[in-house]
Chains A and B, each alone.
Chain A
Amino acid sequence: MASFVSLQQGIEEVLRDGDSVAMEGFTHLIPHAAGHEAIRQGRRRLTLIRMTPDIVYDQMIGMGCAQKLVFSWGGNPGVGSLHRLRDAVENGWPHRLELEEHSHAAMANAYEAGAANLPFAVFRGYKGVDLPKVNPVIRSVTCPYTGEVLATVPALRPDAAVIHALKADREGNVLIEGIVGVQKEAVLAAKRSLVTVEEIVEDFGPRSANAVILPSWTVTAIAHVPGGAYPSYAHGYYKRANEFYIAWDKIARDRDSFLSWIKANVFGQGPDAFARHVRPQARAAE
């Protein structure tokens, strides 16, 4: 059964130096507060796994938490580059970063294979492209029934999954609605998991048709962190702060302005600071 913890306890318990960790979220429900806590606790030598690494991984890479990134699209969507990621890859700052690069289809399949306790994922992909030349784990298998050659990648089995969800109930079951991404697969594929949530409720009440439920016994720890996805969003709670994603481009472009932003907003603040971002939808939509 999941235990209820503070965010600080949760990161201490679930995420260790040298771990591979999937902090997933597909635009929606990205676990920013948990990423900040990992930076505050000075996690090192992490293998960061995510289909779409964005600002929170840019911050963790810039602060030297990562030795490797497993990913399929590393940018600031609709804005441009992740400058801390680029600085690490192009200039080795703050240190060299190893890359294991895939396509989205490959990673989505690899998470699913991990959740299904299979050793690898099989799919129709990587035809005619250069990624298999630079990523030796991309291989192929011949279908025993049709003879078709299909792409394979190893299953993802992270040491830890860290996600943000909408609600937990008192028993520690977790609810995700809206764009559900690949978080269910990431949690089920991982050895340990931490879920930060907007709200802890007695009962989930009526749910939307595509609601994803993670039963309490599939989750290691839950921390109540309202606003914990900001500047990403939590469906029904607050909208994506697109203006912050646009502003991040300037902050992260320069090493000094990045470090001073981290000092003020990560080391100078705790998880409670995220609560101020929970604001009525109507106001955000103005």
Chain B
Amino acid sequence: MSHTPSEMMTIAAARLLSNDDVCFVGIGAPSAACNLARLTHAPKITLIYESGTLSTRPAVLPLSIGDGELCDTALTTVSVPEMFRYWLQGGRITIGFLGGAQIDRYANLNTTVVGPYDAPKVRLPGGGGAPEIASSCGEIFITMAMGTRAFVDRLPFVTSFGHGSGKGDREKLGLATRGPTRVITDLCVMEPDPETAELTVVSLHPGVTRAQVEAACGWPLRFAAAPADTPAPTAEELAILRDLHARTRKAHGVAA
């Protein structure tokens, strides 16, 4: 069965999650990946959305972070201040799953502005929960489609802190959490280098060449000595993901 790069990205991200994870879920690609994991190999995964829903099991993907579907299928729903204080700041989340408009080689993220802050060329939505998700969760997975406008040499604004300007910067700020450990894209999977914390391609998706990945990145990208081949999506993974998206489109009133 053939698949799209976006499906490969979601499936590669879903495979990294396990039954033991307590996952703080962002809207969009992270939400699709977390729910795909729950519907395939990780039925006991704990999904938490910042609107206050704990252990939620939505039948369709939410359009917004506080859709009724999330509350209806949750174990319980807490207030937003409680979510950020007791659950996130309290250190109870193992994995924070973020997307972003822009990322740099040390996995810092920008979702605030393109151009100067006071006179922006593009005003993006802002950080929302991300700055504290990035510092309080045990580790961070990032999922973003590649392109030179998204994977940039220098961020105009640091909305969420990854590895700063290299290895050791998190420790200098007093952060005890691991920060970004995986970046799952539509072309490859990257991990921070153990010595420098610079993002390094560790696996290429089926049919993707090294040149293709280099062309989609705004800095000279490093590759592991022998990048692995990401296993192609299985028929089961694709069928479950497509079914989830079809249910979601129908529920949101969008023509398939």
User: Which residues of A does B touch, CB under 8 Å?
Assistant: 26-28, 51-52, 71-75, 77-79, 81-82, 85-86, 89-90, 101, 103-105, 108-109, 111-112, 123-131, 134, 148-149, 178-182, 184-185, 209-210, 212, 233, 235, 239-243, 245-246, 285
The main secondary structure of chain B at its interface with chain A is loop
A129-B127, A134-B117 known; A178-B77 Cβ under 8 A: yes
The residues of A that contact B81 with a CB separation of less than 8 Å are 108-109, 111-112, 182, 185
Residue of chain A at shortest CB distance from B157:
A130
Q: Is B207 part of the binding interface, using a Cβ–Cβ cutoff of 8 Å?
A: no
The residues of A that contact B175 with a CB separation of less than 8 Å are 127-128
Contacts A79-B63, A105-B132, A179-B66 aside, 4 further interface pairs with beta carbons under 8 A come to: A74-B123, A104-B84, A178-B71, A233-B68
The residues of A that contact B76 with a CB separation of less than 8 Å are 209-210
Q: List 22 A-B pairs, Cβ < 8 Å.
A: A26-B65, A27-B51, A28-B51, A51-B80, A73-B129, A77-B64, A78-B63, A85-B123, A86-B122, A90-B121, A103-B127, A105-B89, A123-B85, A124-B89, A127-B131, A128-B170, A129-B131, A131-B112, A178-B71, A179-B52, A180-B52, A184-B79
Nearest CB of chain A from residue B76's CB, rounded to whole Å: 6
Q: Complex: how many Å from CA A128 to CA B124? A: 20
User: Which residues of B does A touch, CB under 8 Å?
Assistant: 27-28, 50-53, 62-68, 70-71, 76-81, 83-85, 88-89, 112, 117-118, 120-132, 135-136, 157-161, 164, 169-170, 173-175, 251-254
Q: Complex: how many Å from CA A52 to CA B78? A: 17
The main secondary structure of chain A at its interface with chain B is loop
Of the residues A72, A78, A128, contact of B28 by C-beta under 8 Å: A78
Asked whether, in the complex, the Cβ of A73 is within 8 Å of the Cβ of B128, the reply is yes
Asked whether, in the complex, the Cβ of A109 is within 8 Å of the Cβ of B85, the reply is yes
Of the residues A73, A90, A126, A242, contact of B125 by C-beta under 8 Å: A73
Q: Complex: how many Å from CA A83 to CA B65? A: 20
The residues of A that contact B52 with a CB separation of less than 8 Å are 26, 179-181
Nearest CB of chain A from residue B123's CB, rounded to whole Å: 4
A127-B174, A127-B175, A180-B52 known; A245-B64 Cβ under 8 A: yes
Nearest CB of chain A from residue B151's CB, rounded to whole Å: 19
Most A Cβ at <10 Å: residue of B70, B122, B128: B128
Of the residues A109, A127, A181, A240, contact of B173 by C-beta under 8 Å: A127
Q: Complex: how many Å from CA A101 to CA B118? A: 12
Asked whether, in the complex, the Cβ of A246 is within 8 Å of the Cβ of B121, the reply is no
Q: Complex: how many Å from CA A29 to CA B206? A: 45
Q: Complex: how many Å from CA A101 to CA B157? A: 13
Nearest CB of chain A from residue B234's CB, rounded to whole Å: 28
The residues of A that contact B88 with a CB separation of less than 8 Å are 105
Asked whether, in the complex, the Cβ of B80 is within 8 Å of the Cβ of A182, the reply is yes
